[in-house]
Structure 1
């Protein structure tokens, strides 16, 4: 380093006196230059101490050429806390480690996801996946677009394009939206693959071989004008249970009950509005009644060990109480996985038999060793995330399909479900321009971390919740900006201005020990909540630690007087606070990764593992980066603009 600085020091000798006096305005430039360097020369060190009082703030306004040197700043952190970023290598279960397989419900490919879709599955799963990585668990996060079935075929028919064209377009739309939201899948695939056909047909044939399937000739709605049998979603009508006029043939969106198209009152063809007739068709049914006991035993054990959410258990048990019945798993469609029986080769699998198998096939497209994840029940735990309307398909139909094969599949360990997220005064509706959808979020100009924070702090875990613009602004301004942003800014800017960004050594006293006790209590709660997938509670604990950081700075009375007259005490306050910031960067990384990347850049520190107790890990001599604002206030005018844009008035 001496050789590197030799020219700098020689030139500085003509500018500074050996007594340490600052003699020239040009010294500012040299002070800025030397701020990024490790100094050994004693005379230069002495001069820097004097100059720092005059020119400390210069670091915040350096020319661009100096900013390039930030990466070369000295990094002094504890050993063993650094998380290795994900590399382009195949992730497989590791013997002796905790192996966690994470899936989020496969979104339908026929529309743009709205905020309720995003919080209900992919965002919640992403938080837990990131938490697992920062705890050092060996995890794999799988998702993809659900592309087969009536919904896709109907949408393609409406738009006058092929199903494949529709799927290609919307797969990219979904992928782009999730990337903008910082959803970090290990694999985001799709169900229209050879692996899907191979695995789904294999499961079907094993169920057939084991006697768990039966054929039945059923009466089905048929459109004479369209010359086709009408699958569930091709039929609309009045719900026989609640009287809702626009119920679908498979489910009523008003009361949430699953239906059979034949049960609808005043049925009509979705394609042309004509009244369908009843005609017979042969289909395959899975005999869920034969598999009920096995499924009940699985649910009883798994829901207890895996701490399923209350609504998941109650919905599932309601199905068992009513008694499982044979359920049709084939459809008269063209777009789907073909049924591998010669006499039924013109039919395809029903989407809710086929779709959950997409988790397996997407994994198979990711790795040829997919069975190490999906046929490894002793070494892999399966965590699944979805909205409450998907529960019975994942706790009854899908498990029965796997159990009936006789293969040793990795079965569901933990199920995390959400209730519905509504918008202002009603439901999200793309057709009526009500609510915020993925592309709206991108166009809003509001950073992804703010959207993520609000959705996660408002996550509908026990009851339905509502997206409210005023609440969105309030939480951003009073929590993200006034709490977290304020604490990070107060700490890093003071350190930059007064210490030239170099972390001093700390001598912890009674005040620090008092706050360490409180921080450790919150860390324990945080880790317990996140392990149990209580995401909203985990976020609350992390923000409580940020609030403790602000309170500590207030009680420590950090100001210019403390720096000038009680330097050793000021050293401790800054070092202690900065290490709280460092802990927050890991606790909040699962929730707001982009904002935490900014914190890490300002700290000039690597991503760290989530701790179980407070420790000093940014050590004395570490040099931080350039402080910057984490968040900006959302003004009332901006909120009024967005309200009008997505209120349905357009």
Structure 2
């Protein structure tokens, strides 16, 4: 008996400081959801695990300014994110959070294994201290100018603008993010670190052996570059209160650094989903762990996360595929999660249904380079691609088919157009299997273009009006072929625009999630259901609703 292949799909965990903006959404969560939907259409044993990343100093800082606890703030934002992701059509197997007992237990277990295996070392660090607030400042409590790109709002751990990992001492003119004090002291303090240097050989071997598993080029090249420079121990504790306390004598006043418990959160959240099932996925050596993230999360997932798993030696599966996306940049549009302004996903789904965002953002998916997002281009995708190419085709086929149902006989089709359609479908499946989702979406569009070409070149409405038998037979063949193309479009659209797919498939008597194997069916249309719009063009009134998000 063949063993069933298992898949764990994850996306980088949304940070529970604010609702994700469009760039956050398309940079990890949306492509993960699209791929997961495809796996389920194939009938695979797959789970999609995600959740809110709740620890870290930005949350603590924001809570201080709001006069509430970090726990309350992160839980309130968690609920908002969970709700908006559901409205965005995401179908997580489980959406949990990192500040949970399940994750805490998992973090402690892995930490103890790393310590016993000799990969946790004690370090003496120089850490910023603010005499005004009378506290050590974790890296994200420190703001300054990036020495690499000159960005003036770089954090003490990483520059948001260029992505470089930093230390507070590298910042130019650093200051306290709580009170603005520019006269920071740097005092010595003890911490615990993951000995990445001792693990570097095994991490490099992991990268070399896994990089051919559909890793993106940026994941491979940047990781190998870091490995060539040499890995150094990286702190996993900080002088902070918000986080899981360190369960080791002498370090009780410290908590785990957010990056450490966040990546372990993939396991902890799965455990929160099901204590009885999580090990069936995470400890099955044949499970494929497919991870999606933006390029700012690359180092944590290609080196540190595998290093944790290898060093702990608890037989958890290592990442099989790592898909790293570039940035979706706002071109004339305000969106900044950290600054709390602009078009986030909460505002997006208030403006238009989720299908419009899912389709357009996947159309713009920044797979190989940064991509610009503008309101103008978004409207063009909706109006000219979604509506004109797909929606209009579906509507015309349903209308002509319904009006001439009586002269459509048999199942004979136009062999040439069906052959082309089958070729496009094969390419769609191949692109999805290679986890090239944007290419797969373009195959959906290509199929709609084929349908429109058949429609315009044959003009079936004229054949329907002709009285001779040959014309009617030709009309029947063409409409059977167009019926098949529309049906196939309904199935192929499902991962990208599930509501639109459901509208199309409803005309074929289908409800719920379709299956890839259904593409081979020859369905009939329920002509008792009048055709309705699948997509609609964005009106001038709707266009004006975007104005508050456009930079003046």
The TM-score with structure 1 as length reference comes to: 0.81
- For 1:433 and 1:106, the matched residues in 2 are separated by 18
- For 1:605 and 1:624, the matched residues in 2 are separated by 15
Structure 1 residues 434 and 230, CA, compared in 2 at 3 Å: closer, same or farther? closer
Which of 468, 475, 479 is the equivalent residue of 1:570?
A: 475
Contact 2:333 2:374 in 1 (8 A): no
Alignment-derived partner of residue 189 in structure 2: 281
- For 2:529 and 2:289, the matched residues in 1 are separated by 40
Deviation of the 1:635 alpha carbon: 2.7
Alignment-derived partner of residue 519 in structure 1: 421
Deviation of the 1:428 alpha carbon: 2.7
Structure 1 residues 435 and 424, CA, compared in 2 at 3 Å: closer, same or farther? farther
Alignment-derived partner of residue 515 in structure 2: 609
- Per-residue CA deviations over 1:402-443 (Å, capped at 9, x if unaligned) read 100122111111111110111114773358786421221122
Q: Which runs of 4+ in 1 moved over 3 A?
A: 430-435, 566-569, 621-626
Structure 1 residues 242 and 431, CA, compared in 2 at 3 Å: closer, same or farther? closer
Gaps of 5+ in 1: 1-93
Is residue 540 of structure 2 the alignment partner of residue 632 of structure 1?
A: no
- For 2:411 and 2:422, the matched residues in 1 are separated by 19
Which of 335, 352, 366 is the equivalent residue of 2:242?
A: 335
- For 1:495 and 1:288, the matched residues in 2 are separated by 65
Is residue 372 of structure 2 the alignment partner of residue 372 of structure 1?
A: no
Alignment-derived partner of residue 357 in structure 2: 451
Contact 1:100 1:383 in 2 (8 A): yes
1:25-424 map, 5 Å: 96-274=3-181, 275-304=183-212, 306-368=213-275, 369-377=277-285, 379-424=286-331
- Per-residue CA deviations over 1:609-645 (Å, capped at 9, x if unaligned) read 2259x645205x8666332111111134532x24421
Alignment-derived partner of residue 441 in structure 1: 348
Deviation of the 1:560 alpha carbon: 5.6
Deviation of the 1:217 alpha carbon: 2.1
- For 1:118 and 1:242, the matched residues in 2 are separated by 25
Structure 1 residues 517 and 551, CA, compared in 2 at 3 Å: closer, same or farther? same
Contact 2:333 2:550 in 1 (8 A): no
1:559-598 map, 5 Å: 559=461, 561-562=463-464, 565=467, 566-598=471-503
Alignment-derived partner of residue 647 in structure 1: 550
Is residue 471 of structure 2 the alignment partner of residue 552 of structure 1?
A: no
- For 2:473 and 2:510, the matched residues in 1 are separated by 24
Deviation of the 1:498 alpha carbon: 2.7
Deviation of the 1:473 alpha carbon: 1.2
Alignment-derived partner of residue 486 in structure 1: 392
Structure 1 residues 380 and 624, CA, compared in 2 at 3 Å: closer, same or farther? farther
SS in 2 for 1:492: helix
Structure 1 residues 255 and 526, CA, compared in 2 at 3 Å: closer, same or farther? same
Deviation of the 1:325 alpha carbon: 0.6
Deviation of the 1:381 alpha carbon: 0.3
- For 2:79 and 2:434, the matched residues in 1 are separated by 33
Contact 1:215 1:283 in 2 (8 A): yes
Gaps of 5+ in 2: none
The TM-score with structure 2 as length reference comes to: 0.95
Deviation of the 1:172 alpha carbon: 1.2
SS in 1 for 2:223: helix
Contact 2:293 2:324 in 1 (8 A): yes
SS in 1 for 2:435: coil
- For 1:236 and 1:134, the matched residues in 2 are separated by 46
- For 2:116 and 2:272, the matched residues in 1 are separated by 26
How many residues align? The count is 546
SS in 2 for 1:164: helix
SS in 2 for 1:272: coil
- For 2:273 and 2:408, the matched residues in 1 are separated by 44
Contact 2:51 2:96 in 1 (8 A): yes
Structure 1 residues 367 and 503, CA, compared in 2 at 3 Å: closer, same or farther? farther
1:15-34 map, 5 Å: none
Alignment-derived partner of residue 64 in structure 1: none
- For 1:239 and 1:609, the matched residues in 2 are separated by 50
SS in 2 for 1:477: helix
SS in 2 for 1:121: helix
Contact 2:16 2:78 in 1 (8 A): yes
Deviation of the 1:384 alpha carbon: 0.3
- Per-residue CA deviations over 1:468-495 (Å, capped at 9, x if unaligned) read 1111111111111111111110111222
- For 1:129 and 1:615, the matched residues in 2 are separated by 22
Contact 2:395 2:533 in 1 (8 A): yes
Structure 1 residues 473 and 244, CA, compared in 2 at 3 Å: closer, same or farther? closer
- For 1:203 and 1:503, the matched residues in 2 are separated by 65
Contact 1:331 1:349 in 2 (8 A): yes
- Per-residue CA deviations over 1:151-179 (Å, capped at 9, x if unaligned) read 21111111111111101210111112111
Contact 2:424 2:447 in 1 (8 A): yes
Contact 1:302 1:413 in 2 (8 A): yes
Is residue 393 of structure 2 the alignment partner of residue 505 of structure 1?
A: no
- For 1:279 and 1:434, the matched residues in 2 are separated by 36
Specify the structure having the higher radius of gyration (Cα).
1
